[in-house]
Amino acid sequence: MLEITNLHATVADKPILNGVSLNVPAGEVHAIMGPNGSGKSTLAYVLAGRPGYEVSEGGATFLGRDLLAMEPHERAAAGLFLGFQYPVEIPGVSMLQFVREALNTQRRARGEAELSGAEFIKLAREQAKLLGMDAEMLKRPVNVGFSGGEKKRAEMVQMGIINPKFAVLDETDSGLDIDALKSVGAGINRIMRGPDKGVLLITHYQRLLDYVEPDKVHVLNAGRIVRSGGPELAKELEREGYVEAAA
Amino acid sequence: MNEAVKNRELRDKIAQDYEWGFVSDVEQEFAPKGLNEDTVRFISGKKGEPEWMLDWRLKAFRAWLEMEEVTWAKLDIPEIDYQDAYYYAAPKTKPKLASLDELDPEIRRTYEKLGIPIEEQKVLAGVEGAARVAVDAVFDSVSVATTFREELKKAGVIFLSISEAIREHPELVKKYLGSVVPQRDNYFACLNSAVFSDGTFVYVPEGVRCPMELSTYFRINAENTGQFERTLIVADKGSYVSYLEGCTAPMRDENQLHAAVVEIFAHEDAEVKYSTVQNWYPGDKEGKGGIFNFVTKRALCSGDRSKVSWTQVETGSAITWKYPSCILKGDGSVGEFYSVALTNNRQQADTGTKMIHIGANTRSTIVSKGISAGRSNNTYRGLVRVLPRAENVRNFTQCDSLLLGSDCGAHTVPYIEVKNPTAQIEHEATTSKISEDQLFYAMSRGLDAESAVALIVNGFAREVLKQLPMEFAVEAQKLLGISLEGSVG
């Protein structure tokens, strides 16, 4: 579903990714783990098409299409979703307004009918409820005044509403207490587990993987994948630390 | 991407053509080119004005000859040749119409292209349950159609073109015309007093809540024709009225001068809401053409507890010079100013407000949102003045500026003069660049760059937009998006 081949990327002329190759088939959840500065977030941004993250070598395809040739919004319409490590505040724009415009723009791009206001609000309320978010929060400006945990939960609500084919989740577990972690984990399983879906779960810690069991775990270090394995690799990392595991 | 490359790309993309630049073909009747006493007499004569009105105009004209143009604004105004313009143009239409259906089809098509709100179209077609918005359509200089007059009449509200009001209600016009903005107030107001072509007169009698929003669409159509609209709104004791003004203009190469005057007189316990969406032709991306918009808008909160609220969304014109103000004379009177001013390409705007606190317990609120893109310059200029006998005055001012790109300018020039120690004055100001984080966040959710900018800018301006009546707010939101299309790459 997502195939990354020998991907090299630079940020401000500094090489960050130094040849990442990765294949996530449909129906699988892959976890990317690694120490700070190993290039995890850069990989997420490159996949989503953030300006300033330049690919110098290699490539990536998504559902057979050249991912890197697409604009960020085209990637979204193709079914790619990025869950942000630090969700961004947009003052004056309610979450409802924001996600509705996002979803309907995607649907238009795919030649699907837009959702009416009523259909959308029903969907948004359902998703908020499933993730344990007060529906009143949907009326508040995007991420403004949200706590760290609320922001992450709100990202998952957005994901639930948009219902993407593939999600790249960048440290979605950071800043969550144990209850929030459980409900976010359940949300990821509910929204993204399916034969034609896929997830790249970027995380620093094993704990989210207790709730979302990955099919594969990859260790990223200095911009390369240095080890790959099954779920047991995450536990080993937790036990022995990255230095040991990467050695 | 380095800054220079980004700026270049930005500049290339800030190339939104003016969507509504077209010229409709309606026969015009011009006053001879140039400005002298004969021009003033021609205009007055054309409109069949009484002697006192002509005298008033001539007095203004003579005063204007001795005045000088305004130079203190942060504007680069090219020299204007006042003798090289026409001061009167009226469409040659049939006499008064009963409804807009009888309007010249060419004019109607013009309105349709402009997308004059569906609600109004519905009202005009007599659709049941449509919002009641009365339209006093000003096509170029003369009101060619006035609707809903009868229903307003039932409520006792007078809603006429100013020319009609001069004929039908001379005592009211005589009493209030120039009472808020004196002839000699400033160069452009004085010019307007001499040559104003038409405009609107509203009188809401004591205790009457005007049954509908009053709406006027201004539009400049004839080449080289100055527009000198004159609006006078009088709200008698305990009355309420909401007035909407919207403008667009066709594309032209030559600069066009516009010098309007709006006067609002609010008696005891009266409330007036005045909303503007201004989208006159801003000139091309090199700054060629475009309207010069030199407007004097002022309200006198004369009676105790009166309230006037100005809301403006300014996206058009090559040059904007405009400070809708409130003189808070009555004790406990309230003045509000909510403004969004957007400039792109080579546009220049110097706009803001004056809140003059004369009465005790007077309050004012100023919320200004400036958005600059391209190579434009956008200045907020505001005065809060508290006079010695004005006890317990409160003012809150918030000025936010948003920059798109690094070739544009945003300036904030607040003047605060407080002569009474009991006053509480608050001033907050911020300047920010549109954030790449916000843009990328929105784009990663599926919005293209232009929609993302429009969304973020609308969020930035929300506090002001929500002050607008619903149908106007929708239009204004679209307008902000359209005006910024291509401004970020």
| Token pair recorded at residue B71 | 């130079």
CA dist., res. B166 & res. B201, Å (int): 9
Mean pLDDT of B25-41: 74
- State residue B416's pLDDT score: 96
Sign of the Cα torsion B461, B467, B471, B472 reads: negative
User: B259 lies in which domain range?
Assistant: 3-484
Sign of the Cα torsion A56, A57, A60, A64 reads: positive
The answer to the question of residue B142 being in a domain is: yes
The better pLDDT of the pair A69, A246 is held by: A69
Bridge pairing between strands A90-94 and A141-142: antiparallel
- Minimum mean pLDDT range among A2-16, B115-129, B388-402: B115-129
> Which candidate from A52, A141, A162 shows the least CB-CB separation from B459?
A141
Tell me the chain B residues in contact with residue A53 when contact means C-beta distances shorter than 8 Å.
none
Tell me the chain B residues in contact with residue A67 when contact means C-beta distances shorter than 8 Å.
none
Residue pointed to by tokens 């021009």: B39
The SS3 of residue B47 is coil
pLDDT digit string, tens, across residues A191-242: 999 999 999 999 988 889 999 999 999 999 999 999 999 988 888 888 887 7
Test A93 with B459 for CB contact under 8 angstroms: yes
Q: Give yes or no for A133 touching B (CB within 8 A).
A: no
The better pLDDT of the pair B33, A76 is held by: A76
Test A71 with B456 for CB contact under 8 angstroms: no
CA dist., res. A220 & res. A223, Å (int): 6
Tell me the chain B residues in contact with residue A106 when contact means C-beta distances shorter than 8 Å.
446
pLDDT digit string, tens, across residues B267-294: 999 999 999 988 888 887 887 888 889 9
Say if residues B100 and B136 touch (Cβ distance below 8 Å).
no
CA of B117 to nearest chain A CA: how many angstroms apart? 21
Q: Give yes or no for A90 touching B (CB within 8 A).
A: yes
Instruction: Give the residue numbers in B contacting A (CB under 8 Å), as ranges.
Output: 1, 435-438, 440-449, 451-452, 455-456, 458-463
- State residue A197's pLDDT score: 97
- CA B102 from centre of chain: 28
CA dist., res. B293 & res. B295, Å (int): 6
pLDDT(B139) > 70 = no
pLDDT(B333) > 80 = yes
What CATH class is the domain A2-246? alpha beta
- State residue B267's pLDDT score: 98
- State residue B90's pLDDT score: 59
Tell me the chain B residues in contact with residue A49 when contact means C-beta distances shorter than 8 Å.
443-444
Tell me the chain B residues in contact with residue A88 when contact means C-beta distances shorter than 8 Å.
435, 437-438, 440-441
pLDDT(B219) > 50 = no
Tell me the chain A residues in contact with residue B445 when contact means C-beta distances shorter than 8 Å.
73, 76, 98-99, 102, 158, 162
pLDDT digit string, tens, across residues B367-392: 999 999 989 999 999 999 999 999 99
> Which candidate from A72, A92, A99 shows the least CB-CB separation from B440?
A72
pLDDT(B331) > 90 = yes
pLDDT(B119) > 60 = no
- State residue A246's pLDDT score: 56
Say if residues A146 and A173 touch (Cβ distance below 8 Å).
no
- State residue B257's pLDDT score: 83
The answer to the question of residue B489 being in a domain is: no
Candidates A73, A114, A162, A163: best to mutate against B (most CBs of B within 10 A) is A73
Question: Where on the phi/psi map is residue A64: left (φ > 0), alpha (ψ -120 to 50), or beta?
Answer: left
- State residue B474's pLDDT score: 78
